[in-house]
Structure 1
Amino acid sequence: MHPAPGGPSPGNHANNVRIDPQQLAMLWQLAARARDAQTEATLGFTVVNETLSLLPYRQAAWWRGTAPGTVAAVSGLPESDPNAPYVQWLGALCRVLARAPETAAPSAADATVAAPTERARAFTAADLAVDPSAAHVVQDWQAWWPEHGLWLPLADRSGRSLGGVVFARDAAWTAVDCALLGELAQVWAHAFAAFGPRPSWFERARVILKPGRQQRRVLIALAIACVIPVRLTVLAPAEVTPKDPFVVRAPLDGVIDRLYVQPNQPVAAGTPLLGLDATTLQSRYALARKDFDTAQEEYRQTAQLAVTDDRNRLDMAERKGKLDQSAVQLDYTAQQLARVRVSAARAGVAVFADPNEWTGKAVAVGEKILLLADPAHVELSAYVPVADNVDVKAGATITLYPKSSPLATYEARIDSVAYRAEPTPDGVLAYRIRATFSDATARPPLGAMGTARIHGNWVPLFYYVLRRPLTLARQWLGW
C-alpha cells in the first residue's frame, strides 16, 4: 500500500532512521485525524494535544502566522487566553523563531540530532541567546518551559508561511522525533491551508508573472490579446414608436368633455375621437345669434324709413356695418362650436395613455392630446446616454432585444442621431436615435420596449477596455 499524498514517508528525510511500526501506525492515524478536521480550531486542538500519543512532550502550542501572529491553541487548554502571561510569552517566542530562523539553529551538541530534517528544528535557551531581540524570551525561559524545545514551521505549497507548532520537553529531541514531526508538518500545513484565506488576485498574478518562461508566455499572450480587433458597442433603452404619426391637438381653448376612443383602439377616418365642453360656446353662439337678429331688424327698419326720409339714408351705412359685424361674430362662434368634436383625419390606432387623465382637463389651443399611428409603419427610438456615446453615425446597425419577447431580436439601421442631448423621462441626458427596421415583414409591435445594442467602429481590445478609464482620467486631469 502506498502512502497518501502528504502522508507519512519518513524515508524522505533520512536514510538511516529506523521507526517503530507502532509509531508509523500512530503517525498514519494522526494524519487521518488532521485531514478529517471540520474546523481550524478542531485541527489546532488535535495538533497540540493528540500528538502526545506519538511522541512524549510536556508543552505544545500552535502559532497562527497571520500578521501579527497569535497563539491559537495550547496543549492542555480547551481555549487559549491571549492575555495570559504564558500565552504572551509563547507568542513572543514564536515570533522570534519565525522571524529569525537562523537563531533557532541546533547547538553543536545536537547537530547530529536535527540533521535528518529540514523542517523540525531543535533549540534551547542558549541557541536563542545570540539574538538580542530574544533577551526577554530567554530571561523567562526557566519560569515557563523545560530545557529542550522543537520548532516546526508550517508553509503551503507556494512557500507562504502558515505559522508553526512548538514543542517542549526535558529530554533532547532525537532524529526519529524530527523525522516523524517533519512528516506530520506536511499534513498539518496542507490542512491549515484549506482553512486559511484564499490567495488574492494580486498574489496569484505575482506567482504567474514570476520571471521565467511562463512570464514570457503570459506577456506575449497579453500583447496579442490587446491588439485583437473588437467592435465598440453600447446598450441603450429603446422603444418602438410610430413613424410619421398624425398628431391630434386641441382645436381651441376649453375643457375636454370626454374621449370616444380607448388606448390602442383602431379607428377609421372620420371616427369621433374626443369632444370639448360646449356650454360656454353655446352661450356665446346664442348671444351672437341674438345680436345678429337685432342688427338685421334694425337694418330692415332703417331701410324702409329711408324710402321716405332722407335722414334715415345716412343711418343705413351704420346699420349695415353693425349687421356685418354681428354676422362675422355669429359665423366665428358657429365655426368654434362645430370644432368642439374632433374626428380622425385618417385611419390608424389611437395612441395615448389613460382616458381618465384627459377627461375634465383644461387644454390650450394646439396642445397635443393623442396620436394616430399606423401599426405597420413603425421605427425604433433609442436613447444613448452621453457617458456611453461611442460616436454613433447614421447607417450603423442596431439590434433590439424586446422585454416582452426574450428570444426575439430585431435588426435596424440608424437613420438619424440627434446632435443635441436632451433629458429623458428618467432624467438622464441622452442622444435620441431613430432607426428603421431592416426586415419589412418582421417588426415588433407598436409600443414594445427593450434594450438596444448599438454597434460602433472596430477598435483594438486594449482601447475597448480602457476607453472609459481614459475618459475619466482626461476629465479629471484636464488633458
Structure 2
Amino acid sequence: MSERTDPRVVVLTVLLQLAQEARQADTLDAFAFVAANSLKRLVPFRNAALWTDRPARSGVSAVSGVAEIDPDSPAMIWLDALCRHLAEDTSTTGPMGVRPENIPPELEPQWTEWGGPFALWLPLRHPSRQVVLGGVWIIRDTAFNGAELALLERLGEALGETLSRHLRIGTTRSAILAALTRRRLAIAAAIFLLALFPVRLSVTAPAEIAARDPMVLAAPRDGVVARFFVQPNQMVKAGDKLFELDDVDVRNRHELAIRDLAIARTDHKRANQAAFADPQSSAELSILANRIERAQAEEIYSRELLARSEVVAEKNGLVIFTDPADWLGKPVKTGERIALLSDPEKVEVLAWLASTDAIVLRSGAAVRMFLNTAPLSPLKASLESASYEAQMSPAGVLSYRLKASLAEDEPPPRIGLHGSARVYADNVPLIAWILRKPLATLRQLVGL
C-alpha cells in the first residue's frame, strides 16, 4: 500500500512551483500569464487579473482565460481605475479583501457587473517594500480562509521580486526614491529657513524736494493781485518788491478820508469861532471834535491799507510760487498764501505715504530719495516726522505726510524736483515681507 501524501506538502510544492515558473518567465507577458492563470492551482477563483505600474504605461497586463485583452473596453477601464486606487494604499503589505463600500463611489455602480461576492487584492511590492509595482485582482464565490491568505502573501513576495526584475526596478529605483525624498526634505527645510530669513521692511512713496522752514508770503489785505515784480523761482534780496495788490479802491478810500478829515476840521473851526456869540454852536463843539477823531482814524487806517498794497522781501532767498497768470486779477483774502520765500540751501524731503501702505515707522528711519532726474543716484536722508492722521495728498490719495532731512554730505538739490522715496523700517521675516501686501488686500476685500 502506498503512503498517503500530506496535503500541506502538496500545497507548499505548488507554491514553490509557481514561484519557480514566475522566475523562469523570459518576458513580462509570460510572467503576467503565470500570475493570472497558474495561480488557480494554488487558490481556486472565478477570475483573476494582473495589474502592473509600468514606467511607460500602467494598466491590466493579463486576465485569466483571456488570450488578448482590450484596454479600451469598459471592463478593463473600470478594473484599471480600481487597481490604481488600491495601489495607492501603501500601508497594506499583504492580501486585502475588497468590498463595494471600500472603493470610490464612481466605481461602485459597476461592481455588480464586474465584481464578485468575494474579491481580494494582492499587492506586488518591490523587495524593499517601498514601492507597489502592481497587484493581482482575484474574484471568487467563496470566502478566503487564513491558510489561503498566508499562501498568497508568500506568493506575492516572490511575484513582486520577479516583477521588479521585469520592470527593471531594483535598488537603483529605491536609491533614486530615497534620494528624491532627501532632496524634497532638504528643499522644504531650505524654504522654511528662507521664509524666516530677516529682511528689512520698506515702503515706497511719491516725494519731492521741498523748502525747509520757508517764509510764507501772504496777502496783507483783501484785494486783487495786480502785478508781480519777480518770476517764479527767482533769487531776491531783502527789500526787493515781490508783488502788489490793486490799490484803486484803497487809494480812493484814502482820498475820501483826507477830504472828510479836512471838512471835519473846517466845521470844528467854524463852530469854535461862533461859540463866542452863539451858545448853540458851543454845544456842537464836542460832536464835531468826535467827528474829527473818527475822520483821523479812517485816514490812518486807509493810509496803512494803501501802504500794504506792496509786498517786499524781508530777507534774501528764493521766491516760490506758481505761474503769475494764475494770480493776476484773482481776489485774495487777508492771510491767503501767495508765495514762499526760502533759502535754497535749506531743503527737505516731503513724501506722501498712502494709508494702504502704512507701516510702523520710527523717527530717524533711513530714507533714500530717488529723483526722476537722477534715478541711479539716490539721496540719503533720515525720517524726522510723520503726520498722526492721514490727509489727502496733492494726487488725491489718502496719505500720511512724511518729512525727512537730507544727510549733511548730500548737496542740496533744486527745490521742486520730484521722485520717489523708499522708507525703511525694522527687520521682518521674508515670508511676512512677501505676504504683507496680499494679506492687506485680502483684509480689505473681506472686511477684517
- TM-score normalised over the length of structure 2: 0.61
Alignment partner of 1:293: what SS? helix
- Residues 134 and 227 of structure 1: CA distance in aligned 2, closer, same or farther (over 3 Å): closer
Pair 1:252-2:194 in alignment:
no
- Residues 232 and 364 of structure 1: CA distance in aligned 2, closer, same or farther (over 3 Å): same
Pair 1:364-2:333 in alignment:
yes
- Residue in 2 aligned with 1:237? 206
Q: CA deviation at 1:476?
A: 4.9
2:266 corresponds to which of 287, 297, 318: 297
1:450 and 1:456 map into 2 onto residues whose CA distance is: 20
Q: CA deviation at 1:347?
A: 1.6
Question: In the alignment, residue 73 of structure 2 is paired with which amino acid?
Answer: D
Aligned pairs (5 A) from 1:11-50: none
Which consecutive unaligned segments of at least 5 residues does structure 1 have? Answer: 1-13, 15-97, 110-125, 136-207
Question: In the alignment, residue 448 of structure 1 is paired with which amino acid?
Answer: L
Q: CA deviation at 1:100?
A: 8.3
Question: In the alignment, residue 181 of structure 2 is paired with which amino acid?
Answer: G
Aligned pairs (5 A) from 1:305-320: 305-320=274-289
Deviations 1:138-195 (A, max 9, x none): xxxxxxxxxxxxxxxxxxxxxxxxxxxxxxxxxxxxxxxxxxxxxxxxxxxxxxxxxx
Aligned pairs (5 A) from 1:428-447: 428-440=397-409, 442-447=411-416
Which consecutive unaligned segments of at least 5 residues does structure 2 have? Answer: 1-25, 27-55, 78-176
Q: CA deviation at 1:312?
A: 2.0
- Residues 317 and 218 of structure 1: CA distance in aligned 2, closer, same or farther (over 3 Å): same
- Residue in 2 aligned with 1:465? 434
2:426 and 2:188 map into 1 onto residues whose CA distance is: 27
1:270–1:346 Cα contact (<8 Å) kept: yes
2:343 and 2:72 map into 1 onto residues whose CA distance is: 95
Pair 1:287-2:256 in alignment:
yes
Alignment partner of 1:326: what SS? helix
Aligned pairs (5 A) from 1:396-435: 396-435=365-404
- Residues 131 and 309 of structure 1: CA distance in aligned 2, closer, same or farther (over 3 Å): closer
Question: In the alignment, residue 376 of structure 2 is paired with which amino acid?
Answer: L
1:410–1:443 Cα contact (<8 Å) kept: no
- Residues 403 and 304 of structure 1: CA distance in aligned 2, closer, same or farther (over 3 Å): same
- Residue in 2 aligned with 1:389? 358
Deviations 1:68-103 (A, max 9, x none): xxxxxxxxxxxxxxxxxxxxxxxxxxxxxx998648
Q: CA deviation at 1:254?
A: 1.1
Pair 1:347-2:299 in alignment:
no
- Residue in 2 aligned with 1:128? 70
- Residue in 2 aligned with 1:35? none
Alignment partner of 2:408: what SS? coil
2:371–2:378 Cα contact (<8 Å) kept: yes
2:380–2:410 Cα contact (<8 Å) kept: no
User: Would you say how many aligned residue pairs link Structure 1 and Structure 2?
Assistant: 295
- Residue in 1 aligned with 2:98? none
- Residues 130 and 300 of structure 1: CA distance in aligned 2, closer, same or farther (over 3 Å): closer
2:417 corresponds to which of 448, 471, 476: 448
- Residue in 1 aligned with 2:240? 271
- Residues 127 and 311 of structure 1: CA distance in aligned 2, closer, same or farther (over 3 Å): closer
- Residues 108 and 477 of structure 1: CA distance in aligned 2, closer, same or farther (over 3 Å): closer
2:74 and 2:424 map into 1 onto residues whose CA distance is: 69
Q: CA deviation at 1:301?
A: 0.8
1:433 and 1:104 map into 2 onto residues whose CA distance is: 77
- Residues 336 and 225 of structure 1: CA distance in aligned 2, closer, same or farther (over 3 Å): same
Q: CA deviation at 1:283?
A: 1.6
Deviations 1:327-375 (A, max 9, x none): 1111111111111111112221110110111111111111110000110
1:261 and 1:445 map into 2 onto residues whose CA distance is: 18
2:371 and 2:274 map into 1 onto residues whose CA distance is: 81
2:410 and 2:57 map into 1 onto residues whose CA distance is: 77
1:267 and 1:282 map into 2 onto residues whose CA distance is: 28
1:298 and 1:347 map into 2 onto residues whose CA distance is: 50
Deviations 1:264-290 (A, max 9, x none): 000111111111111111221221121
1:254 and 1:340 map into 2 onto residues whose CA distance is: 9
1:345 and 1:313 map into 2 onto residues whose CA distance is: 51
Question: In the alignment, residue 128 of structure 1 is paired with which amino acid?
Answer: D
Aligned pairs (5 A) from 1:74-85: none
1:235–1:452 Cα contact (<8 Å) kept: yes
- Residue in 2 aligned with 1:218? 187
1:411–1:439 Cα contact (<8 Å) kept: no
Question: In the alignment, residue 402 of structure 1 is paired with which amino acid?
Answer: L
1:103–1:130 Cα contact (<8 Å) kept: no
Q: CA deviation at 1:381?
A: 0.8
1:408 and 1:128 map into 2 onto residues whose CA distance is: 72
1:133 and 1:271 map into 2 onto residues whose CA distance is: 102
- Residues 466 and 292 of structure 1: CA distance in aligned 2, closer, same or farther (over 3 Å): same
Deviations 1:197-254 (A, max 9, x none): xxxxxxxxxxx99961221111111011111111001111111111110101111111
1:103–1:131 Cα contact (<8 Å) kept: no
- Residue in 2 aligned with 1:50? none
1:402 and 1:460 map into 2 onto residues whose CA distance is: 30
- Residue in 2 aligned with 1:327? 296
Question: In the alignment, residue 426 of structure 2 is paired with which amino acid?
Answer: N
1:410–1:444 Cα contact (<8 Å) kept: no
- Residue in 2 aligned with 1:67? none
1:477 and 1:332 map into 2 onto residues whose CA distance is: 63
> Percent identical across equivalent pairs?
34
